[in-house]
């Protein structure tokens, strides 16, 4: 595939037809997204274990960079809950074992994620993300959601609770010196109740109060910001900070500076320790972002280029690492908002970043009194969208094998940690896939009377011919099932000593790899030793092209027939007229 | 599956109908196999880095145990070249790093192989052996053959040459203090020439000299033993030992005693270090043995039970470990001989072991003067059957992907070591398989004029209907290609804005896993947002049964049709009569 500048730098494409109406639409969308982004970015910084201002940093340069390189027109990038908890978990483990600086390590992780995603994008390796199966991702994300909620308990209740996994949480709860800090817990609960109520009922309340759809919608979206402002005022008025409620405190104002994080004495060792988590975070972050942007694009019949997304997200993460922030991605909740608000081009991201920059420059002092418990409540409300327990029951009904992978991922994520859970899920789902396709469905077929159709003799009333066996293999033949086919044919021949002709119907065989080719040769040779001819029928075009490049067809003791019916007709003729050789 | 005593203890089955003619056949086969086994067992002991008598031990109790438990009637068990080199390589590495005793570690490896194979047999895990693809095995075995030959150079030339891998061999050759020890090299070359000539020409020579077929055959098979006896006589007469030619020396006579090997101070650490090589040796050994026994059985329309083979070989290896020998398996060359000699039941193995025991009791002093260079020549001649360079070219022609896996395995085995080579091959072939099936062939189909057949529009002259697109996916849908399908459908819809109905023809879809189900739901939802109906046609019975347990069919914006032609007919009717709803 040749690539043009348009593919590499999508801004060239949309920039050339940018007009005033697009500008208005993008500006409006940016304003609305920012209402959501300001509280989220502060809360997600805390979730990532980082100071509040880094949440703002993560929402500036990275968003601009993605706007220039990414292919989605509606994807709202910046901090996301899944990325933040994965970053916190990975960095926490590495810092504990190496004693590195938490902030610098988080920035390094973002930088490494960026480099890996960019490299994957340049090498067009977007497909590897598909090795994480959907049930594994669902099990993982549900478990991560629970861990995210648990990780906020310390802010929410004002007591030291560690919650990297369930055993740690239980141990931490048992070792607690006292109950929750009541003023903090009350603030948190109030915040949670208000945020939940505004999300659930505010819009219908406003509509029934007679407000227009547009205004009600805007107020509904701005509610989290107003609730935060309300709590800042309350906290200042009641001096909650003085009563022991943890507040955000002094947030340095100004824009982040571009700098390489300082990585201590053993940077290579640090990079090595971060490598596996980085790869997993990159994959999960990519899948999360690309799912969101594809959903948005499909509605408008636009197209996402997964490799361009990798490049865009990769560059955005490098920008995050260089501005002292943490790993960023595409946010589902904010993208829904930007799409609803009719964002038309990635330029809306640039405007979002500009508003954030103004906030960082002038409004950080206002954040001083914001209680951390309210930010924790913001995250807890958002976590709700990650939990999907219904899909456990659905998957159980649909496929036990997928359920095993899903449940294992869920349990290991909760009980051990996020990285082990995801790695376990990936390995288990690959092994289970190989196991499943290693014993394919093989049906003995017979003719449906009066037709030229051949169906499973166990499911249908069909005619068979003495001495001739027809087998249909319902799977591509490859190394994992090649030997099974050998065993199966041997067993069939051992239990049917009268058979002299075996016809393999290859309707469902989409591929025959070199191992399966060897097995077919072995089967052919063994059958010949036992005086049985091997025939093939209904071999697909591309498979046949390949077989012609091997010597199987020369060795074959029988023939290749275009249709299974032709094969059976030929057998019948040969039997009624033994003089005619098949 | 229920199992009877017959399945667990095959001797019950064949023992009950044992008669005099079977006894004669088995005794004859045993005598002939022994002629081959005595020189081989001594040589393979040296290959495994063990004293000569352990080769005899490996051919006694293990063979008896397999005869009682294994399911093959012709498989000749005992030491094999592949097992011996793998054992030598794995034990050598572990001994170098832990300082454990070589003999005890080799016995422990055999014991561990036995336990793993027995456990796999009891858990019916024989299928995991199929994860090693045929090209990977071929590449591995060819490389192992070269390493086996190289490892014999030190005996063959009488100079210290290390050959664990190619770099070591080259380094070792460069560092040599002097050229080959001439008397040793001459003895080795003479042995090699005689063994090769007898294998290649002796039989036809004897036949043309007027001997009967049976006598010529027997003499041909006994030739290696006679050559060995000749060299013992020559060595004694010319006092080769005194001229610096290494001879076997004093071989302790008597039977091995049953005992647990002593594993030094840190047995657990030793077990841990041996674990990965043990698993790989067990798998390769199992594949080697089961391929041989299946070939033998198929000729007679008998059946091999892979799980019974695992139990039999597992118990045999445990017996090897407990009698101070090394890992054993099924030998291809000796099994061909036993099958030719009409071995009828596993009892021939018991007789073989009995003859070996007599040798060990009374004839070991005769081995004193046997030059090691001649044993090395025995192995070099046998290695010939392991090398298969023709298959590199065949695989290259047939499938580039399989060739990559094969070449990588070959190179890593030669350049690093046997265990790394095999592990690399296994991982690479799984990743390449996933990659290959992650981008399935998807064809847009149209109707072949005058028929009800629908074929690829790029390959055939077909009719399509405006506004309706038919896509045929030539692969089972599962996690590795689910996202690709989403991308592909999005791209098709973006480039065909006039399409209002998409029909997925599912002829070749043998399975839809939970990830693919999610993708179909996503595709359905996205298409609905873009006002396109999604239909399915020709969904297979088992796949449809599963889909009925999901909610896809309720959500589907279109319909499910039995055949693709019915789908297209319905679309046409709906178009000509817009009042009729599809």
Query: CA dist A370 to A78, A243, A355, Å?
Result: 21, 14, 20
**Contacts of residue A131 in chain B, CB cutoff 8 Å?**
434, 438, 479-480
Phi-psi region of B301 (alpha: psi -120 to 50; beta: other; left: phi over 0): left
Distance (Å, whole) CA A370 – CA A357: 19
Length of chain A: 582
Answer whether B526 sits within 8 Å of A298, measured CB to CB: yes
Is it the case that residue B299 has pLDDT exceeding 70? Answer: no
Q: What is the structure's pLDDT at A299? A: 66
Bridge partners for B329 per DSSP: B78
Answer whether A479 sits within 8 Å of B132, measured CB to CB: yes
**Contacts of residue B124 in chain A, CB cutoff 8 Å?**
none
Residues 417-446 of B with CB under 8 A from A: 429-430, 433-441
The whole-number average pLDDT for the span B348-377 is: 89
Give the chain A residue nearest B136 (alpha carbons): A515
Q: What is the structure's pLDDT at A1? A: 41
Q: What is the structure's pLDDT at A56? A: 92
**Contacts of residue A136 in chain B, CB cutoff 8 Å?**
479
Answer whether B482 sits within 8 Å of A130, measured CB to CB: yes
Choosing among B426, B437, B483, which should be mutated to test the A contact, i.e. which has the most A CBs within 10 A? Answer: B483
Burial status of residue A5 (CB atoms within 10 A of its CB: 0-12, 13-18, 19 or more): exposed
Answer whether B131 sits within 8 Å of A297, measured CB to CB: no
| Of A75 and A411, more confident | A411
Confidence at A582, pLDDT banded by 50, 70, 90: very low
Residues 320-359 of B with CB under 8 A from A: none
Burial A123-142 (b: 16+ CB within 10 A, else e): eebbbbbbbbbbbbbbbbbb
Residues 248-307 of A with CB under 8 A from B: 294-295, 297-304, 306
C-alpha triplet B144, B150, B155: angle, nearest 5°: 130
| Of B178 and A536, more confident | A536
Choosing among A437, A514, A521, which should be mutated to test the B contact, i.e. which has the most B CBs within 10 A? Answer: A514
B236 reaches A (C-beta below 8 A): no
**Contacts of residue B388 in chain A, CB cutoff 8 Å?**
none
Give the chain A residue nearest B522 (alpha carbons): A295
Is it the case that residue B2 has pLDDT exceeding 60? Answer: no
Q: What is the structure's pLDDT at A102? A: 92
Answer whether B494 sits within 8 Å of A459, measured CB to CB: no
pLDDT in tens, A316-350: 999 999 999 999 998 877 887 787 777 888 888 99
A69 closest CA partner among A112, A8, A110: A8
**Contacts of residue B130 in chain A, CB cutoff 8 Å?**
438, 479-484
pLDDT in tens, A32-86: 888 788 888 988 998 999 998 899 999 999 999 999 888 888 888 999 988 998 8
Backbone angles phi, psi at B260, to 5 degrees: -80, 135
Q: What is the structure's pLDDT at A578? A: 61
Q: What is the structure's pLDDT at B1? A: 41
Give percent of chain B above pLDDT 70. Answer: 97
Q: What distance lies between CA B476 and its chain's CA centroid?
A: 27
Burial status of residue A242 (CB atoms within 10 A of its CB: 0-12, 13-18, 19 or more): exposed
Q: What is the structure's pLDDT at A422? A: 81
**Contacts of residue B522 in chain A, CB cutoff 8 Å?**
295
pTM across the whole model: 0.75
pLDDT in tens, A270-324: 888 899 889 888 988 888 888 777 777 766 667 677 888 899 999 999 999 999 9
Confidence at B237, pLDDT banded by 50, 70, 90: very high
Q: What is the structure's pLDDT at A490? A: 86
CB B555 within 8 A of CB B524: yes
Give percent of chain B above pLDDT 90. Answer: 29
Is it the case that residue A581 has pLDDT exceeding 60? Answer: no
Q: Measure in Å the smallest separation between the Cα of B261 and chain A Cα atoms.
A: 35
3-state secondary structure of A256: coil
**Contacts of residue B441 in chain A, CB cutoff 8 Å?**
510, 542
Backbone angles phi, psi at B243, to 5 degrees: -90, 15
Query: CA dist B7 to A396, A405, B10, B19, Å?
Result: 34, 33, 6, 21
Burial status of residue A531 (CB atoms within 10 A of its CB: 0-12, 13-18, 19 or more): exposed
Is it the case that residue A497 has pLDDT exceeding 50? Answer: yes
Q: Residue B266 gets which letter from DSSP? A: -
Choosing among B294, B515, B517, B562, which should be mutated to test the A contact, i.e. which has the most A CBs within 10 A? Answer: B515
Is it the case that residue B236 has pLDDT exceeding 50? Answer: yes
The whole-number average pLDDT for the span B220-241 is: 89
**Contacts of residue B298 in chain A, CB cutoff 8 Å?**
490, 493, 526-527, 529-530
Which strands make up the sheet holding A454-456, listed edge to edge?
A454-456, A442-447, A468-473, A501-505, A533-537, A560-561
The kind and range of the H/E element at B456 are strand B454-456
**Contacts of residue B511 in chain A, CB cutoff 8 Å?**
436-437
Is it the case that residue A506 has pLDDT exceeding 50? Answer: yes
Take residue A85 and report the two structure tokens written for it. 């908890």
**Contacts of residue A494 in chain B, CB cutoff 8 Å?**
301-303
CB B40 within 8 A of CB B382: yes
Give the chain B residue nearest A540 (alpha carbons): B474
Answer whether B483 sits within 8 Å of A522, measured CB to CB: no
Q: What is the structure's pLDDT at A124? A: 81
Backbone angles phi, psi at B501, to 5 degrees: -135, 130
Q: What is the structure's pLDDT at B500? A: 92
**Contacts of residue B300 in chain A, CB cutoff 8 Å?**
530
A280 closest CA partner among A152, A166, A382, A427: A427
**Contacts of residue B434 in chain A, CB cutoff 8 Å?**
131, 430
CB A60 within 8 A of CB A353: yes
Answer whether A127 sits within 8 Å of B484, measured CB to CB: yes
Matching residue, tokens 């053993």 = A266
**Contacts of residue A123 in chain B, CB cutoff 8 Å?**
none
Answer whether A475 sits within 8 Å of B476, measured CB to CB: yes
Length of chain B: 582
Query: CA dist A5 to A9, A13, A69, B240, B554, Å?
Result: 6, 9, 11, 78, 44
Lowest mean pLDDT among A218-232, A451-465, B175-189, B292-306: B292-306
The whole-number average pLDDT for the span A239-254 is: 87
Lowest mean pLDDT among A289-303, A532-546, B68-82: A289-303
Give the chain A residue nearest B300 (alpha carbons): A530
Instruction: Write down the mean pLDDT value for chain A.
Output: 86
Pairing between β-strand B442-447 and β-strand B329-331 as defined by DSSP bridges: unpaired
The kind and range of the H/E element at A505 are strand A501-505
Q: What is the structure's pLDDT at B110? A: 95
Answer whether B514 sits within 8 Å of A398, measured CB to CB: yes
Distance (Å, whole) CA B133 – CA B405: 9
Q: How many Cβ atoms are within 10 Å of A172's Cβ, its own excluded? A: 18
Is it the case that residue A206 has pLDDT exceeding 60? Answer: yes
DSSP string, B269-323: HHHHHHHHHHHHHHHHHHHHHHHHHHHHHHHTT----HHHHHHHHHHHHHHHHHT
The whole-number average pLDDT for the span A159-178 is: 86
Instruction: Write down the mean pLDDT value for chain B.
Output: 86
Q: Measure in Å the smallest separation between the Cα of A517 and chain B Cα atoms.
A: 9
- The residues near B145 (Cβ < 8 Å, ≥ 6 apart) are B81, B383, B384, B386, B387
pLDDT in tens, B19-50: 888 888 888 888 888 878 888 898 899 899 99
Answer whether A490 sits within 8 Å of B304, measured CB to CB: yes
CB B342 within 8 A of CB B124: no
Distance (Å, whole) CA A406 – CA A563: 41
- The residues near A578 (Cβ < 8 Å, ≥ 6 apart) are none
Choosing among A303, A398, A516, which should be mutated to test the B contact, i.e. which has the most B CBs within 10 A? Answer: A398
Q: What is the structure's pLDDT at A460? A: 81
Distance (Å, whole) CA B180 – CA B184: 8
pLDDT in tens, B500-537: 999 999 988 888 998 899 889 989 998 998 889 999 99
Q: Measure in Å the smallest separation between the Cα of A246 and chain B Cα atoms.
A: 43
Residues 94-153 of B with CB under 8 A from A: 127, 129-136
B520 reaches A (C-beta below 8 A): no
Inter-chain contacts counted by CB atoms under 8 A, chains A and B: 205
Answer whether B399 sits within 8 Å of A483, measured CB to CB: no
**Contacts of residue B502 in chain A, CB cutoff 8 Å?**
none
The whole-number average pLDDT for the span A561-569 is: 88
Q: Measure in Å the smallest separation between the Cα of A457 and chain B Cα atoms.
A: 14
Is it the case that residue B487 has pLDDT exceeding 90? Answer: no
The whole-number average pLDDT for the span A531-553 is: 90
B243 reaches A (C-beta below 8 A): no
Is it the case that residue B580 has pLDDT exceeding 70? Answer: no
Is it the case that residue A262 has pLDDT exceeding 90? Answer: no
Distance (Å, whole) CA B43 – CA B353: 17
**Contacts of residue B541 in chain A, CB cutoff 8 Å?**
459
Confidence at B582, pLDDT banded by 50, 70, 90: very low
The whole-number average pLDDT for the span B217-232 is: 86
């Amino acid at each position: 595939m040749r690539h043009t500048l348009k593919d590499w730098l999508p801004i060239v494409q949309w920039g050339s037809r940018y007009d005033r109406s697009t500008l208005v639409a993008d500006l409006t969308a940016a304003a609305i997204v920012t209402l959501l982004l300001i509280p989220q970015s502060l809360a997600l910084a805390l979730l990532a274990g980082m100071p509040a201002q880094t949440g703002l940093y993560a929402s500036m340069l990275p968003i601009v960079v993605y706007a220039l390189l990414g292919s989605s027109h509606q994807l709202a990038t910046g901090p996301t809950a899944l990325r933040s908890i994965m970053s916190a978990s990975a960095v926490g483990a590495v810092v504990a074992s190496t004693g590195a600086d938490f902030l610098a390590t988080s920035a390094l992780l973002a930088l490494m994620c960026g480099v890996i995603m960019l490299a994957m994008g340049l090498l067009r390796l977007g497909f590897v993300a598909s090795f994480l199966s959907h049930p594994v991702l669902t099990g993982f994300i549900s478990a991560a959601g629970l861990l995210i909620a648990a990780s906020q308990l310390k802010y929410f209740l004002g007591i030291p609770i560690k919650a990297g996994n369930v055993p740690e949480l239980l141990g931490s709860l048992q070792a607690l010196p006292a109950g929750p800090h009541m003023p903090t817990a009350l603030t948190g609960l109030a915040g949670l109740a208000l945020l939940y109520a505004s999300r659930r009922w505010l819009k219908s309340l406003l509509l029934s109060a007679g407000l227009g759809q547009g205004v009600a919608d805007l107020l509904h979206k701005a509610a989290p910001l107003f609730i935060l402002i309300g709590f800042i005022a309350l906290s200042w008025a009641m001096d909650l900070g003085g009563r022991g409620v943890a507040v955000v405190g002094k947030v340095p104002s100004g824009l982040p500076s571009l700098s390489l994080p300082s990585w201590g004495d053993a940077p290579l060792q640090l990079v090595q320790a971060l490598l596996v988590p980085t790869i997993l975070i990159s994959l999960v972050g990519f899948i999360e972002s690309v799912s969101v942007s594809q959903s948005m694009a499909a509605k408008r019949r636009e197209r996402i280029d997964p490799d361009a997304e990798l490049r865009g997200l990769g560059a955005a993460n490098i920008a995050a690492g260089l501005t002292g922030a943490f790993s960023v991605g595409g946010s589902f909740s904010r993208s829904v908002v930007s799409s609803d608000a009719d964002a038309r081009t990635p330029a809306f991201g640039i405007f979002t970043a500009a508003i954030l920059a103004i906030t960082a420059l002038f409004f950080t002092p206002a954040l001083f009194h914001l209680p951390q418990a309210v930010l924790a409540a913001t995250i807890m409300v958002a976590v709700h969208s990650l939990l999907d327990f219904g899909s456990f029951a659905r998957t159980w009904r649909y496929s036990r094998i997928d359920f095993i992978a899903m449940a294992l991922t869920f349990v290991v994520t909760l009980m051990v940690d996020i990285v082990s859970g995801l790695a376990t899920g990936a390995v288990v789902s690959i092994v289970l896939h190989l196991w499943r396709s290693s014993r394919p469905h093989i049906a003995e077929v017979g003719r449906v009377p009066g037709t030229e159709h051949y169906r499973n003799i166990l499911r249908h009333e069909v005619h068979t011919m003495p001495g001739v066996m027809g087998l249909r293999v319902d799977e591509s033949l490859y190394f994992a099932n090649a030997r099974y086919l050998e065993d199966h044919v041997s067993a069939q021949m051992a239990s049917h000593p009268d058979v002299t002709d075996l016809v393999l119907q290859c309707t469902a065989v989409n591929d025959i790899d070199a191992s399966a080719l060897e097995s077919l040769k072995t089967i052919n040779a063994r059958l010949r030793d036992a005086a049985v001819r091997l025939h093939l029928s209904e071999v697909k075009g591309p498979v046949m092209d390949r077989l012609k490049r091997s010597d199987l067809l020369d060795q074959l003791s029988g023939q290749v027939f275009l249709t299974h019916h032709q094969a059976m007709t030929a057998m019948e003729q040969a039997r009624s007229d033994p003089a005619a050789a098949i």
